[in-house]
Every structure is written in C-alpha cells, then in structure tokens.
Structure 1
Amino acid sequence: MAFITLTTDFGTKDHFVGAVKGAIYSELEDAKIVDITHEISPFNITETAYILKNSYKSFPKGTIHIIGVDSELSDENKHIALELDGHFFVCPDNGLISMIASEIKPTKIVEINIHDRIESSFPVLDVFVQVACFIARGGNLTVIGKEINEFKKIIEIQPKANQAETQIVGGIIYIDNYGNVITNISKKMFNDIGKGRNFKITAKKHSFTKIFSKYNEVATNSAYSNQQYEGHKLAIFNSAEYLEIAIYRSNLDTVGGASSLLGLAYRDTVVIDFVNQPEQEFTILN
C-alpha cells in the first residue's frame, strides 16, 4: 500500500483537492492518501518549505509527497521528482525543497519530461498524480525525466551569521494558527554560533534576553494562576527547533497573537546579538 501525501494552497472550497484524490484512487485503489495541508497561503513557497520539512519525517520511508504550490509549468518553473531521505517528492522546482535539502542531499533528482504527452492547466492533477502513482508502483525516476544535479534555492530561507560570529540575522518565515511567528533560525545554528554565550534577540522594537523551553515557563510566580500571564510575550525554540516569538496562551479572537500584538509580519527581520554581559542578564532556559 502506497502512502501519498498532499500539500497545496488549494483550500477546501473548490473541487481541486477532491479531483486530485479521485485521480489517485483511479490509478491506485489501495493508496493511502494523507492531507498535510491545503491551507498554504497562496503561492507562499517559504511557508510550504517550513510545513513540509516539519511533517514529512513522520511518514514511513517510501512515502510519496505531492506538493502543489506555485506549480504552473514555465521555463523558469520546471517540474521535478526527487528521492531524499528515503522519501519521494513530486513538486515544482521553485525552491520549496530548499529547507529540507539544505541538510540532507537528495539521492536523485529528475526533471519531469512527460509534458509533451500532456497539455494541462492543472499539473498537480494531470502530471504530478501520474508521476506519484508511477513511483508507487516501483517505477524508476529516470523513466519519467532526465537526471539533474541542481534545484532552485530560496535565499530567504537561510539565516546568516556575520564573519565574526557575533550576530545572526534571520527573518520570519511562518505565522501559525495561534498568531505566533516562526523564524528561520534553528536551535542548532543558535548553539553552533552562540557557543554558550549570552545573547539578545531583537525583532522590530521588541527584545528578548531569555529563550524558554516551554510556553508555561513564562508564568514564573506560582502565587498567580496561569491566566494572569496571558498576553505575555516570550521567545522559545518550538517543537520543530526553530526560534519562535509567541504570546502566552494566545487566542486570535481574544488575547491576540504575536503577529498582531507585536506588529511582526512575514519576512520581518529578527537579529540575535551574542554579547559578553553579566551571566544573570542574558539566559537561555534549559
């Protein structure tokens, strides 16, 4: 039984998701289809990359991931299929694979070349489904395309450290359902560059000198209920081990989220300065 996942910006109002699933079942009756999400912000490649990186590993090796975001074929936006970390990805070559492949090199990448037999304005349905089902039947990637060595890379996904390694400059790449903002700065990069030094995080006019390991650690006084701390801002390495700026017990309908309350938006800059100050002023909580 083949596992096939779907990640798109189609939403669920229109017929697109249903049509894609129907086409898969027509080819593979015993396929197991899993929706990762269809609520990607339209054409948002960076958001797609973040969600995909933090979901694909939960699936069994051999799973095939169809990604339908900014997938219209053009000279600048080819279609590719690749094997990476024991998984297969069928997607546009628009940079969305960058976040995964920055850490794990693909085993094989091919540029899909079956388009001369198919004319379509809906490539996820007409092309990606065929390729995914071919792979699910045990087909070799080189049959559906010519092997290539490179894929497009998104520069904004990668944070940068200065030469002296006293500063990391990153940015906000995702805003979650709670309004919390996620940066492209990983815990690994923070530890590798910081080397245990004290630090200060700056995002617009807001600064943070502690990184919590759990959200409720912001409720520091046991004499008060956790509700008393609702609305407090904090920095945390989230479950995906990326630096997140959050509002404790955020609720977009009542308290608000970090994005709205702190005025932080997609692509805003986040800076970490590593400084030599008294130990008690700058702390990472373990």
Structure 2
Amino acid sequence: MDNTHRPSASSGLAGPSGLAGATGPSGPPAAASTKPRVQSRCFALLTDFGLDDPYVGQLKGVLHRLAPAVPVIDISHGVPPHRVETAAFFLAASHPHFPPGAIFICVVDPGVGTPRGLVSMETGGQVMLAPDNGLLHLAAEARPDAVLRRLDPARLPEAQSATFHGRDVLAPLAARLAGGESLAAFGDPVLPTDLSRPAWAVPRREAEGVHAAVLHVDRFGNVVLNLSLREWDRLGACRLHLPDGTLIDIARAATYADIPSGRTWLVAGSQGYLELAADKASAADRHWLKPGMQVLLEDCR
C-alpha cells in the first residue's frame, strides 16, 4: 500500500442527520442553497453470513434498536465463508457509489475472538469498520487521503460474545457514529504499514512477469484479479500461467462479446479491476480458478 497515507485528526461524521426527527419543511421546493449539503446517513452491510442463519437479522435488529431512522443497505451477505479478499474487493468496488455519511459494517472475520483487532477507515465523509485482516486494504489503497485507525478495545462497546463482534461491537459503534460521535474517541490514527496486509493484497511485478491473485469469481464465471484499472489498465496481450501448470495466450477485449468462442481474454470489468473472462461461458470453471489462487502473466504487451 502506498505510504503517502498520513495519520491525522478527524472529526468523523459530523452531526446527527438521518436520525429520528430529521424532516424537511413542507411546501414548494426552496431556491438552491449555497450551504454545504448535509451528509446522508445510512448503514451498509457486507458479510459472509449468508441468509440461512439468524446472524444478519440480529445485526440489523441491533442497528434498528439503536438508530431506528437510519436506513440499512445490504451490499452482500454472500461473500464465500472466510474469503477476506472477496470482501475487500466488494468494499472497494461499492463504497464510491454511496453518499458521504455512509457507515460500512464489514464482517468477514475468521479471526474473531483472537487478538486480531478492529480497524476503521475514514474517507470522503464515509466510515468503514472491519477486522484487521486486510479487508480495508483495497479501498484504502485507492484513497491516499484516508485516515486509518486501530480501534481501542477499552473504548469500544463491550462484547456479549467472543464470536460475534459484528453484532456486539461494530453495530453499536456504528449507531453511535451515526448519532454524531467521532471515531477519534474510539481509536488513534495509524499508518497503512501498521495494519495487516495479506499476500493477495498486492500484485507483484517480477522479472518473470506479474503475479496476480484471484479476488472473486462472479456468478457468470468472470475471474476478478487484484489488478486495479487505476494501475494496470495498460496490460494487453500476455501469456497466462495457471495454477495447474497450463499456459495460454490471452489478449484484451473491450467487451465480453468481443472474446472469440472458446478463448479466455482480459476485460476491464465494471467494478474497476481486470477480469479473466469468456463469452457466454465460465472462465473460472474452464480453468479451475477460485478466490485466493495465484496466476502469472508474462510477456505482457
């Protein structure tokens, strides 16, 4: 991650807009105001809980009990269990579409109950809460101005369970932030290098080529790599080394429909990352690719 991040004091989310009683005047629309736009409160949830168990409902129940006027938006609860890299991709791809004032509660936490710690990120008026396992890395990498904090357990809501910090710690904390409290009261700023950075978080350019990790396989079988368009959009034709030892030649396509039948090529995905894709077929099934796997792109042009 770029070390241009710098810790700084931040007031967090300013004011309790979006809570009960925040209504506008009746009558015709007023003339445009020069006052700063009030931040729009919402909670955004991202978990690997699925929908078969009561965990999502309990998380939402705590939020509704503590901040009943703040809407709750589900980004996804279908992250594959324990796949932190997929959650990191979902967060990085989704948060730019939310307004200032959004509070993201991200719970893909295979280390819950261990000393792994909880962290936060503030950028553009938004707040993101997550375990310190790399989940915030991709979002923070794209935001050099982000303020990262390590949350102090002594200042956080007390957990009722050692295995459900999303419900017992992060949800009550999010409600307090929505009510106007500052993140500065719950943790101190840190540098990106102070936080967890798993191997999948950063592509490696070495003499033999570019080592990339699979972040996600979508329902169409498109394979999202950890190659952001922000940094890697110039990649074109390459030789692709797959985990099973197979070597294939790939090129760039503007759309999925431009990929020749039976071939796998690179596409600039709508979520801001390069994808391995096939037209009307699953590139993941064709090449046995899953999140967490590594591929090598060599002789890229």
- What is the TM-score normalised by the length of structure 2? 0.76
Q: Is the 8 A contact 1:199 1:272 kept in 2?
A: no
Q: 1:267 aligns with which of 255, 267, 292?
A: 292
- Which has the larger displacement, 43-52 or 179-188? 179-188
Identity of aligned residues (%): 23
Aligned: 1:138 with 2:154: no
Q: 1:248 is matched with which residue?
A: 279
Give the AA of the match of 1:236: V
| Residue 25 (structure 2) aligns with | none
Residue 239 of structure 1 aligns with an amino acid whose one-letter code is: S
Does the C-alpha gap of structure 1 residues 119 and 29 become closer, same or farther in structure 2, counting only changes over 3 Å? closer
Match of 2:248 among 207, 216, 219: 207
**Whole-Å separation in 1 of the counterparts to 2:188 and 2:266:** 45
* Matched residue count: 253
Whole-Å separation in 2 of the counterparts to 1:268 and 1:82: 27
Displacement after TM superposition at 1:218 (Å): 2.5
* 1:216-246 CA distance string (max 9 Å, x none): 1136xxxxxxxxx4x5433212112322112
Give the secondary-structure state (helix, strand or coil) at the position aligned to 1:153. Answer: coil
Mapped pair 1:161 → 2:205: yes
Q: How far apart, CA to CA, are the structure 2 residues paired with 1:175 and 1:95?
A: 19
Cα RMSD over matched residues? Answer: 2.3
Q: Following TM superposition, by how much is the alpha carbon of 1:206 offset from its aligned partner in structure 2, in angstroms?
A: 4.3
2:33 corresponds in structure 1 to none
- Give the 3 Å change call, closer, same or farther, for CA 274–188 of structure 1 in structure 2: farther
Of structures 1 and 2, the one scoring higher in RCO (CA 8 A, sep 6+) is 2
Distance 1:7 1:211 in 2: 31
Given that 2:105 and 2:174 are in contact with CA atoms closer than 8 Å, whether structure 1 keeps it comes out as yes
Residue deviations 1:67-113 (CA, integer Å, cap 9, x gap): 111161322x1012331343101111111111111231322414142
Normalising by structure 1, report the TM-score. Answer: 0.80
Tell me whether 1:8 sits opposite 2:50 in the alignment.
Answer: no
Secondary structure of 1:55's aligned partner: helix
In the alignment, the residues of structure 2 paired with residue 237 and residue 87 of structure 1 have an alpha-carbon distance, to the nearest angstrom, of 26
Q: Which residues of structure 1 form unaligned runs of 5+?
A: 220-228, 251-256, 276-281
Quote the offset at 1:162 in angstroms: 2.3
Equivalent in the alignment of 1:189 = 231
Distance 2:57 2:299 in 1: 50
- 8 Å contact from structure 1 (residues 73, 79) kept in 2: no
Check 1:211–1:127 CA distance in 2 against 1; reply closer, same or farther (3 A cut): same
Q: Which moved more, 1:205-214 or 1:86-95?
A: 205-214
The answer on whether the counterparts of 1:170 and 1:183 sit within 8 Å (CA) in structure 2 is yes
CA contact (8 A) 2:241 2:295 kept: yes
Indicate if the aligned counterparts of 1:96 and 1:154 stay in contact, CA closer than 8 A. no
Which residue in the other structure is 1:235 paired with? 266
Distance 1:43 1:63 in 2: 24
Q: Secondary structure at the match of 1:54?
A: helix
Q: Secondary structure at the residue paired with 1:94?
A: coil
Q: Which string of whole-angstrom CA distances, capped at 9 and with x for unpartnered residues, describes residues 185-244 of structure 1?
A: 23343356x6xxx6423032242342001111136xxxxxxxxx4x54332121123221
Deviation at 1:115, TM superposition (A): 5.1
Check the 8 A contact 2:100/2:126 in 1, yes or no: yes
Structure 2, unaligned stretches of length 5 or more?
A: 1-17, 19-40
One-letter code aligned to 2:105? I
Give runs of aligned pairs for residues 55-204 of structure 1, distance below 5 A.
55-70=94-109, 72-75=112-115, 77-105=116-144, 106-113=146-153, 114=155, 117-121=158-162, 122-149=164-191, 150-162=194-206, 167-191=209-233, 199-204=237-242
